[in-house]
Structure 1
Amino acid sequence: MKYYILLSLLLLGIFVNAQDNQGVIGIKGGLNLATFTGAEDVDFSRIISFNLGIMLETKLSESISLQPEILLSAQGSKASIDSQSADNRLYYLNLPILLKFYTSDRFSFDIGPQLGILISAKQKSSSSSSTDNDIKTLFSDNDIGLITGISYKFVSGINFSARYNFGLKNIINTNLYSNENKLKNGVFQLSIGYYFKK
């Protein structure tokens, strides 16, 4: 956990330092269409959830920018086995660091790595009307992904983005399950944001 705290502080330091120089800070939020991939014996379907956070864009050249972000992201999937189904919600603090390649003044292709820190995990079964069950111990406390997407920003500071998070790591807790049981996050995100002008 100390590692995650240090990484979060490092990203915060990047935000503060870049804001003092050439960076422009912003806020964002939007919808997630999330699911799990990798398991053949379970029928997974997408759930609709949310993402919310802050971002900072710093120019590296005329056509390339660096954009670190700190996002709260609700992910997971609906799982169906036989006649039973369960809604699984995993809440991550995601720390993407993106390179933005501009093809015009407003439009960019975005790509970069992402570290996810699992905050909580809840499950609600279709056969139970009780409160959500805590399933955090079933999952790894971190995730690694690759982000690809596109963005468009207006002169006003409003911007839109669409991206996909390709989970690269098995998120099942291997201390409880064998390596044969593998799940990965797959999340499509649509966001609207606003860059604050200096």
Structure 2
Amino acid sequence: MKKNFLIILILLANISINAQTTEIKFGLKSGINMSKYTPDVYVGNSRILDYQGKIGFYIGGYSNIKISEKFRIQPELLFSNQGTIAVFEDITLTDSNGTPIGNEEDIKYKINESVVSLPILLQYFVSEKFNLEGGIQLGYIINRKEEVLENPFNQFLGNNFQNNNMENDKFDLGFNIGLGYKILENMRINTKYFLGIIERDNVIKSSIFSLGIEYEI
């Protein structure tokens, strides 16, 4: 399946290169994001794992290829910090006989991911300043760390730990939708939503809102 997705990306890139363009521009972009995993985990009707949003950032560059008065293609190469806040809800310790010890508590930890991504966007310009966009995005997770934020059972689990488990899925793939607005001659603001379409580790998908600035060089 991953090979098929790569083939799609290569075909899109070839379309952008071979298009009859009248204009190719380059630029830099950066901004902030709010990322989380989805879906939450339930046992019956009880939620046991709640994924919450984590603030991160992204930075990178792009090329913008004009293919008509209304349409452009924008390949990008970005480095981003993303992940999620994970909350294990209503945890109860028991003794050897299964008798609960203490009250129900939550354990909260943060997952940080360092990701290199390749979005390829098709932009439609409603006007000179305002555009809509959408496309596909491939990501590669180069690093993953976990940090405990709240743990009432810290005698059993340290307050800080790192997990760089190489068995975690490294590839992510999904769709972007967004819009942009020109605020200065060489500067645009841009907001996007990314939703993963493959299940990483057979369980989770990525969900990311981003807001940033593009600067044409």
Contact 2:148–2:161 under 8 Å retained in 1: no
Where structure 2 has 5 or more consecutive residues not aligned to the other structure, the ranges are: 4-8, 43-48, 90-105, 152-157
Q: What CA distance in whole angstroms lies between the structure 2 residues aligned with 1:67 and 1:16?
A: 11
Q: When the two structures are superposed, what TM-score results if normalisation uses the length of structure 1? A: 0.81
CA RMSD of aligned residues (A): 2.9
1:183 aligned to which of 197, 200, 204: 204
What is the CA–CA distance in structure 1 between the aligned matches of 2:185 and 2:63, rounded to whole Å?
Answer: 16
> Do the aligned partners of 2:16 and 2:73 also contact (CA within 8 Å) in 1?
no
**Matched residue, 1:62:** 69
**Alignment partner of 1:99 out of 117, 122, 138:** 122
> After superposition, what is the alpha-carbon deviation per residue over 1:157-178, rounded to whole angstroms, capped at 9, x for unaligned?
1111000001111111xxxxxx
Structure 1 partner of 2:82: 75
Of 112, 116, 119, which aligns to 2:142? 119
Displacement, 1:31?
Answer: 0.3
How far apart are the structure 2 equivalents of 1:10 and 1:71? 20
Question: Structure 1 residues 16, 129: closer, same or farther in 2, change over 3 A?
Answer: farther
Bigger strand share: 2
SS at 1:61's partner residue?
Answer: coil
CA distance in 2, matches of 1:71, 1:11: 18
State the distance in 2 between where 1:125 and 1:56 align. Answer: 39
Share of identical aligned residues, percent?
29
Partner of 1:27: 28
CA contact (8 A) 1:169 1:184 kept: yes
Superposed displacement of residue 16, structure 1: 9.9
Question: Aligned letter for 1:35?
Answer: K
Match of 1:51 in 2: 58
Deviation, 1:129, is 3.9
Q: Match of 2:193?
A: 164
Q: How many residues align?
A: 183
User: What CA deviation, in whole Å up to 9, does each residue of 1:103-124 have, x standing for no partner?
Assistant: 0011100000000111111100
* Distance apart, 1:26 and its partner CA: 0.3
Which structure has the greater CA radius of gyration?
2
Give the residue type in structure 2 aligned to 1:140. D
Distance in 2 between the 1:111 and 1:9 partners?
A: 17
Whether contact under 8 Å (2:12, 2:120) holds in the other structure is: no
**2:100 corresponds to:** none
